[in-house]
Amino acid sequence: MEGRLLNGEGMKTAGSAAPARTRFAPSPTGLLHIGNARTALFNWLWARRTGGRFVLRVEDTDPARSKASFEAGLMEDLRWLGLRWDEGPDIGGGSAPYRQSERTRIYGGYAEWLLRHDDAYLCWCSKERLLELRAAQLKAGAPPRYDGRCAQDNVAGVHGTAPAVRFRVPERKVAFTDAAHGRMSFDTKAFGDFVIMGSDGVASYNFAAVIDDALMDITHVIRGDDHLSNTPRQALLYQALGFGMPVFCHVPLVLGADRQPLSKRLEAVSLRALRADGFLPEAVVNAMSRLGWTPGTEGLLTLDELSGVFDLKGLSKSPSVFDMERLRAYNKAAMSGLDAPSLSRLAGISGVPKEAVEAARRNAGTLNELRTLLEPFAGEPAFTEEATAVMDNPSAKAVIRAAMTEVEAAAAIDGSSCGVIMKKVREATGEKGKGLYLPVRCALTGRTEGIELAEVFVLLGKEKLIERLGRFA
């Protein structure tokens, strides 16, 4: 049997000051979303807070849904956030391999050990029988659980079929202390004997996770509340295999605006989508860190600053709602800490004056918004449908003609020019409000909104103002 020898270590305590070994173990079956990324962040923060190590393990035992592109994508997302791992499938480590698909023989060895010690047995039940059993139990109002048919010694195998391996669950209470929820207790009657190795030879999640966490010396398992029901099964496996249990810490789930758990297959809340929308990693990290925990300040903090104050005892017991407006606020704060050249580079805009960047950043919440605001000053404006509709209004041309006349007559364009010019245009045309200002803005920028019109006048200058107004006059 591969791996280290079975041992009888006692349960580690949550208050231990020893360096922690934490892990993030995603399945490469979709995009990394805020909820999973928050789990990775909390594990990384705790490892750094204690001077420990952060392990990346890929749980790719679902060949139908696991993709190498998803694995590469989640690694890229973690690096973008700044969450570097100390051991993982790409860099190796003392507990390699770090992909579950490469650890099949290890799981098989431990399954054989449990079979020899009568802690597991072969199950020959077909999928059809198990589905019928489940349906009958649900109809009777009973919790669905295996009825133990194959646990009897006199059950013979079915010719030509491969058996699954089931763990023999004792009827008793399973209790453990959760770092977030405190003392927890579960009755094994709720779930019964469960499969640890499928008939296809693939280890179940609970079995593989226990073996991997034990052999990789993981001291703290920090994960979402959706895994809480797995813990009593895993606790029984730890005991049967002679492993010491890690500290479990189940963090309440992150909810979307609809109060439903975020799904990694909803692209709108994936890190990939947030990055494409122009959010900075510092902003995403700060927004995520406040989902179920608070560092004691609302200010923007670095990863090192967050790890310096992170504490499992401060985790909330209630679900958190991901707030896009809060993320935008952190993003504006992160953008404010960058100089104009850096912002232009990140936004993918070149050839714009520093003054334009400074004016645009006051109105932009993301890099995408900044790029949109700067485009009229980097080249010829592209007209939106709304701007085109404004320019099609019969009164727009009269406003543009009057504005062009006043710009041509102005000795120079400065901070006060816009107010003076637009006052004269209003007197000449009788237009006011949107009917006065929107045609001019649209002619100059191709958009119905943006930075202050007075700043647009100064940034474009007299020659460019006349050129753009002249196209519509």
At residue 44's C-alpha, the angle toward residues 43 and 49, to 5°, is 100
User: 171, 197, 223 — which closes off a domain?
Assistant: 197
382: three-class secondary structure by DSSP: coil
Residues 158 and 189 in one domain: yes
Residues 388 and 470 in one domain: yes
Catalytic member of 12, 173, 189, 264: 264
User: 197, 214, 242 — which closes off a domain?
Assistant: 197
Residues 366 and 439 in one domain: no
Residues 384 and 471 in one domain: yes
For the stretch 9-33, pLDDT in tens is: 333 434 445 899 999 999 999 999 9
Q: How many percent of the chain have pLDDT more than 90?
A: 84
Task: Tell me what pLDDT residue 257 has.
Answer: 80
Residue 131's H or E segment, with its range, is helix 127-139
Residues 371 and 421 in one domain: no
Q: What is the mean pLDDT of residues 354-361?
A: 94
**What DSSP designation does 33 have?**
B
438 within some domain: yes
Tokens 């008793």 correspond to 172
User: 179, 197, 215 — which closes off a domain?
Assistant: 197
User: Is position 264 annotated as part of the catalytic site?
Assistant: yes
Closest CA to 46 of 312, 270, 332, 380: 312
Closest CA to 373 of 456, 261, 308, 469: 456
Q: What is the mean pLDDT of residues 94-120?
A: 97
Q: Tell me the residue range of the domain where 348 lies.
A: 339-377
What are the DSSP E strand ranges found in 101-236?
Answer: 120-123, 164-167, 173-178, 182-187, 194-197, 220-224
291 within some domain: no
CA dist 187 → 16, 190, 192, 201, 246 (Å): 28, 6, 10, 29, 20
Is 50 exceeded by the pLDDT of residue 129? yes
Q: Check residues 274 and 61 and name the one with the higher pLDDT.
A: 274
Q: Tell me how many helices (H) and strands (E) the chain has.
A: 18, 11
Residues 362 and 390 in one domain: no
**Spatial separation of the C-alpha atoms in residues 468 and 413, rounded to whole Å:** 15
Residues 348 and 415 in one domain: no
Residues 386 and 468 in one domain: yes
180: three-class secondary structure by DSSP: coil
CATH of residue 187's domain is 3.90.800.10
Q: What is the mean pLDDT of residues 95-99?
A: 97
458 within some domain: yes
Residues 355 and 416 in one domain: no
Confidence tier at 36 by pLDDT (50, 70, 90): very high
Residues 401 and 458 in one domain: yes
234 within some domain: no
Is 70 exceeded by the pLDDT of residue 56? yes
Residues 346 and 326 sit within 8 Å (Cβ to Cβ): no
Task: Tell me what pLDDT residue 14 has.
Answer: 40
418 within some domain: yes
152 within some domain: yes
Residues 363 and 443 in one domain: no
Could you give the number of structural domains in the chain?
3
Residues 431 and 449 in one domain: yes
For the stretch 399-448, pLDDT in tens is: 999 999 999 999 999 999 999 999 999 999 999 999 999 999 999 999 99
259 within some domain: no
Task: Tell me what pLDDT residue 265 has.
Answer: 55
Is 80 exceeded by the pLDDT of residue 105? yes
Q: What is the mean pLDDT of residues 196-221?
A: 97
Could you tell me how many residues make up the chain?
473
Q: What is the pTM of this model?
A: 0.90
Q: Check residues 140 and 160 and name the one with the higher pLDDT.
A: 140
191 within some domain: yes
